């Protein structure tokens, strides 16, 4: 009897090594260095003040990963690395990569304990009981790294989310927990009738203001400071929650959905951007991995459309529809009759 091919197991086993190699190259600024043009391993090592042999191994691994390419004795960015792995790129995913390296990678080291106890590993990993978002916003540098991480992913998903439903009948969209405002910005650029409000903590909004100022829809965009759990929500006939609900347990979700429902006029709606689990829980893989990630760092989890529908109906919403977008996030639209 022949044994099954072990390749799927070996591929999974090597997964963290691939991730960490990319994380290290981004953290060390390799892709930004190569934006200037090809460099040899020794030139990069000299700039990094690092061991030439170690640097060469990292660069060669990045070639094998398809992130770098050889140019004679030098190394150069591939097209995908030039777009997404340079911190200076306007489509960079580096913020989320740095967050993954510094936070997620560390917390996932305690996944077994999270599974056994069903609780996040924040205190175990970092030795503090400070709430997770207080940590992310504790310094301007941490806040910018985290917020830009959400921005990078948002740039890849927001166009599909705002195009999943016809939003031409709405007048004002308030994006709650807007971070850089990418969802509101994208919605206003897609739907010329729409005005957008980026609603977030006051210390986050200057970054949103930078991106709004660069948008061709800037005259229809504004910022509004506040906490969506406690402060009055800005007036709107369309609210948006992008990657917000998956952070929280049911009690806080019920509170937030009820606040949104009460603030909406009749005929208004809520647009939700989250990755939806299949109803039979068979996938998609990235949603299940994200749900494990929420286990180790927050009180939240990923949910199926039926789970979100139950929470939305309990808050008073009707005519709830979910649509896959083909991107990292899917879209749900729930209306207030």
Whole-number pLDDT of residue 150: 75
> In order along the chain (337 residues), what is the average pLDDT of each group of 10 residues?
92 96 98 96 98 98 98 97 92 89 93 96 86 67 74 88 98 96 97 97 91 96 97 98 95 98 98 98 96 94 98 97 96 97
Candidates 171, 246, 278, 288; catalytic one? 246
183: left (phi over 0), alpha (psi -120 to 50) or beta: alpha
Give pLDDT, residue 30.
Answer: 98
Q: Which CATH superfamily is domain 154-279+298-335 in?
A: Vaccinia Virus protein VP39 (3.40.50.150)
Is the CB of residue 91 less than 8 Å from the CB of residue 154? no
| Concatenated DSSP letters of 296-327 | HHSS---EEHHHHHHHHHHHT-EEEEEE--SS
Q: How many CB atoms lie within 10 A of CB 52?
A: 15
Q: Which one is the CATH code of 7-84: 1.10.10.10, 3.40.50.10490, 3.50.50.60, 3.40.50.10470?
A: 1.10.10.10
Nearest to 125 by CA among 289, 293, 245: 293
Spatial distance between the Cα atoms of 162 and 75, rounded to a whole number of angstroms: 39
**Span(s) in the chain for CATH 1.10.10.10:** 7-84
Domain with CATH 3.40.50.150 in the chain: 154-279+298-335
Q: CB burial class (10 A; 0-12, 13-18, 19+) of residue 13?
A: exposed
Active site residue 151: no
**Res 235: pLDDT:** 98
Task: Output the pTM of the full model.
Answer: 0.92
Strands (E), the chain: 39-40, 68-71, 74-77, 172-176, 195-200, 221-225, 238-242, 269-274, 276-277, 303-304, 318-323, 330-335
């Amino acid at each position: 009897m022949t044994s099954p091919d072990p390749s799927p197991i070996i591929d999974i086993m090597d997964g963290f090594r691939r991730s960490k190699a990319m994380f290290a190259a981004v953290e060390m600024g390799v892709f930004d260095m190569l934006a200037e043009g090809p460099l040899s391993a020794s030139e990069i090592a000299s700039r990094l003040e690092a061991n030439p042999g170690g640097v060469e191994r990292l660069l060669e691994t990045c070639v094998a990963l398809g992130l770098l390419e050889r140019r004679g004795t030098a190394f150069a960015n591939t097209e995908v690395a030039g777009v997404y792995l340079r911190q200076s790129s306007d489509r960079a995913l580096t913020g989320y990569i740095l967050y993954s390296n510094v936070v997620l990678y560390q917390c996932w080291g305690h996944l077994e304990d999270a599974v056994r106890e069903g609780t996040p590993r924040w205190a175990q990993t970092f030795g503090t009981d400070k709430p997770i978002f207080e940590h992310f916003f504790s310094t301007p540098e941490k806040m910018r790294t985290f917020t830009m991480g959400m921005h990078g992913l948002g740039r890849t998903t927001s166009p599909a989310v705002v195009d999943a439903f016809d939003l031409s009948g709405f007048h004002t969209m308030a994006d709650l927990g807007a971070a850089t405002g990418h969802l509101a910005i994208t919605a206003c650029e897609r739907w010329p009738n729409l005005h957008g409000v980026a609603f977030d903590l006051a210390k986050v909004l200057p970054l949103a203001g930078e991106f709004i100022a660069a948008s061709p829809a800037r005259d229809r965009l504004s910022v509004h400071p506040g906490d969506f759990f406690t402060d009055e929500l800005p007036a709107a006939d369309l609210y948006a929650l992008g990657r917000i609900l998956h952070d929280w347990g049911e009690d806080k979700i019920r509170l937030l959905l009820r606040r949104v429902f009460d603030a909406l006029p009749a005929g208004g709606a809520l647009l939700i951007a989250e990755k939806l689990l299949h109803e039979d829980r068979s996938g998609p893989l990235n949603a299940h991995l994200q749900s494990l990630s929420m286990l180790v760092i927050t009180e939240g989890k990923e949910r199926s459309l039926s789970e979100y529908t139950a929470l939305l109906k309990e808050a008073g919403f009707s005519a709830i529809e979910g649509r896959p977008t083909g991107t990292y996030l899917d879209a749900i639209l729930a209306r207030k009759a």
